[in-house]
């Protein structure tokens, strides 16, 4: 007789390794630089506008909409994409849950980062291939590794299975920040 073993809960990430941070920061920055460069080659003014939008968007929209709700910079002194002290300096921890507008702002910002340059990238296949080489690890690693183990349970991309114990631990873990 075959008996089913109970599924064990996937352990949530406590801290990111140096290798994980280097990989994600490198490919993310690579996408931004390659996208901006492809636009600059065709239209310097639009390239500058894109660059200013990305700099301001990452520093204010993304850090406000998602990072200020994330427990990693505040509780674990860690961040996958930027120095955690920078996030703590920009915003105080604003609690676990995100509003629909914040989720939309976060998703819209990343849509602009990755989709806007595509028009110019299609004119230069070398840059297009480099852009997608940088984007590929993100597309693979996030949903299959990070999003399944992330403590930021209100993130629109979080894939931690619905589990009352996990959500209760998260609430307890972030209220003491």
Mean pLDDT for back-to-back runs of 10 residues, the chain (177 residues):
56 91 94 96 96 93 93 93 92 91 93 95 97 92 90 91 55 52
| Six token digits for residue 158 | 């979080």
Which pTM does this prediction carry?
0.81
DSSP codes joined into one string, 80-111: SSS-HHHHHHH-----S---HHHHHHHHHHHH
Interior angle at CA 122, CA 138 and CA 28, nearest 5? 25
- pLDDT at position 11 is 84
- pLDDT at position 116 is 96
- pLDDT at position 20 is 93
Closest CA to 33 of 56, 50, 58, 57: 50
- pLDDT at position 170 is 52
- pLDDT at position 69 is 94
- pLDDT at position 38 is 97
- pLDDT at position 7 is 55
Closest CA to 91 of 109, 73, 113, 76: 73
């Amino acid at each position: 007789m075959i008996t089913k073993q109970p599924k064990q809960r996937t352990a949530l990430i406590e801290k990111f390794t140096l290798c994980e941070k280097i990989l994600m920061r490198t490919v993310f920055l690579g996408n931004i630089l390659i996208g901006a460069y492809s636009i600059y080659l065709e239209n310097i003014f639009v390239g500058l506008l894109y660059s200013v939008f990305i700099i301001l968007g990452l520093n204010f929209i993304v850090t406000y909409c998602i990072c200020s709700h994330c427990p990693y910079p505040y509780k674990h002194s860690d961040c996958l994409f930027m120095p955690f002290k920078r996030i703590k300096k920009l915003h105080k921890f604003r609690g676990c849950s995100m509003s629909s507008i914040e989720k939309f702002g976060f998703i819209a910002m990343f849509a602009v980062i990755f989709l806007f340059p595509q028009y110019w990238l299609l004119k230069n296949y070398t840059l297009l291939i480099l852009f997608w080489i940088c984007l590929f690890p993100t597309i693979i690693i996030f949903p299959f590794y990070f999003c399944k183990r992330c403590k930021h349970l209100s993130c629109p991309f979080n894939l931690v299975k619905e589990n009352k114990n996990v959500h209760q631990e998260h609430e307890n873990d972030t209220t003491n920040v």
